[in-house]
Amino acid sequence: MTTAEEHNSGGIGKDLVVYFCILALAGFQFVIAYQNIDASQMLVRMMIVAIVEAGLALLFFMHLWAENRGLLWFVVVFTVFVLLAMQYGWTDSFRLSGGVPWAK
């Protein structure tokens, strides 16, 4: 059985369950947003919910759950590498906006 046949044999039930879980997580973000907590605590909680939400969307709606585990790990490692590499440039942009002693 191919992955397309496996997906079609399950029907739309699994997709709807995952969709409603993502909707519930989005509602949970509103609950977190209206809590009277510190900004740093809110950031951590929102990031955790957002990572779970994005993970569900990637695994089920992009069908990564049916792919080879090696591909899944490649996508995870590559994405983390790209995000960390993008963060490398922030220090230079702050230096350019603030100026340096030798820049005229």
| Alpha helices for 1-104 (secondary structure H) | 3-9, 13-33, 39-56, 69-87, 90-98
pLDDT at 49 over 80: yes
The single-letter DSSP state of residue 38 is: -
- CA pair distance 16, 25, nearest whole angstrom: 14
- Name the token pair of 4: 């397309």
- pLDDT tier for residue 38 given thresholds of 50, 70 and 90: very high
pLDDT tens profile 53-103: 988 888 887 777 788 888 888 888 998 898 888 877 666 666 666 666 565
Give the integer Cα–Cα distance in Å for 97 and 103: 11
